[in-house]
Chain A
Amino acid sequence: DIVMTQSPDSLAVSLGERATINCKSSQSILYSGDNKNYLAWYQQKPGQPPKLLIYWASIRESGVPDRFSGSGSGTDFTLTISSLQAEDVAVYYCQHYYSSKRFGQGTKVEIK
């Protein structure tokens, strides 16, 4: 099974500053048949279900602010919040859907 490991476990960023979350898969999740990375990112605010932010590693879901971006390929991926807003305080999860499905352990983003 493919294991997803996020880093850091938590980070504190000042309002307006950049937040960067990393996600590493234990094997490549780039499928050669379609050249797509089978990776999604979710945001979960306290007391709420997760919300899809990014899929195919870099495609922003409709309605997601453009300060959220995803990048990476193969085994190493990044979610970037370019200018942190107060409403971005949440736990962020990566998820592979290459074979079966598995989430990373989550990264908690707070305001410094």
Chain B
Amino acid sequence: EVQLVESGGGLVQPGGSLRLSCAASGFTFSSYWMSWVRQAPGKGLEWVANINQNGRERYYVDYLTGRFTISRDNAKNSLYLQVNSLRVDDTAVYYCARDSTVAGFFENWGQGTLVTVSS
């Protein structure tokens, strides 16, 4: 069974940083593109970033490039999102998602980790 378990969220002040993690199991992690998708409270879904199997290709939603960095460690079956210079409007549940092998839709999702940016 595919499992994706996020961690690392919490309360952080504006301007602060966090490193989100996603532990993957139940599939060959190194064979899949992986993504982060976020959802602000009561709002819709927003794709944030994705990364290819070996970590050499990374893509971001335009306006987050520079503040967010996606990475992975295939030896640890783990996906990461480093989030810097956090703003109040970055408050959201951050989901880890496994991309399909054939295209950019999301076959599996974690339960998410909540990031709250507030003073």
**What is the CB-to-nearest-CB distance from B41 to chain A, in angstroms, rounded to a whole number?**
12
Interface size on B, residues (CB 8 A): 21
A52 to B109: give the CA distance in the assembly, Å: 9
Given the interface pairs A100-B59, A100-B61, A105-B44, the reply to whether A52 lies near B110 with Cβ below 8 Å is no
Beyond A1-B62, A103-B44, A105-B44, 12 additional contacts (C-beta under 8 Å) are A44-B45, A49-B111, A50-B109, A51-B109, A55-B100, A55-B105, A93-B44, A93-B45, A95-B47, A100-B59, A101-B35, A103-B46
User: Which residues of B are found within 8 Å of A105, using beta-carbon distances?
Assistant: 44
A50 to B98: give the CA distance in the assembly, Å: 12
A68 within 8 A of B: no
Cβ A102 vs Cβ B47 within 8 A: yes
Cβ A49 vs Cβ B59 within 8 A: no
Nearest B residue to A99 via CB reads B104
Cβ A38 vs Cβ B103 within 8 A: yes
Which A residues are within 8 Å of any B CB, using their own CB? 1, 38, 40, 42, 44, 48-52, 55-56, 61, 93, 95, 97, 100-106
- SS of A interface (majority): loop
User: Which residues of A are found within 8 Å of B61, using beta-carbon distances?
Assistant: 100
Within 40-62 of B, Cβ neighbours of A (below 8 Å) are at 44-47, 50, 59, 61-62
Given the interface pairs A1-B62, A100-B61, the reply to whether A52 lies near B107 with Cβ below 8 Å is yes
Interface residues as binary, B94-105 with A (CB distance below 8 Å gives 1, 0 otherwise): 010000100111
A111 to B47: give the CA distance in the assembly, Å: 29
Chosen A-B contacts, 25 in total, with CB atoms closer than 8 Å, are: A38-B104, A40-B106, A42-B45, A44-B45, A49-B111, A49-B112, A50-B45, A50-B95, A50-B106, A50-B109, A52-B105, A52-B107, A52-B108, A55-B105, A56-B103, A61-B107, A93-B44, A95-B47, A95-B105, A97-B104, A100-B61, A101-B47, A101-B50, A103-B47, A106-B44
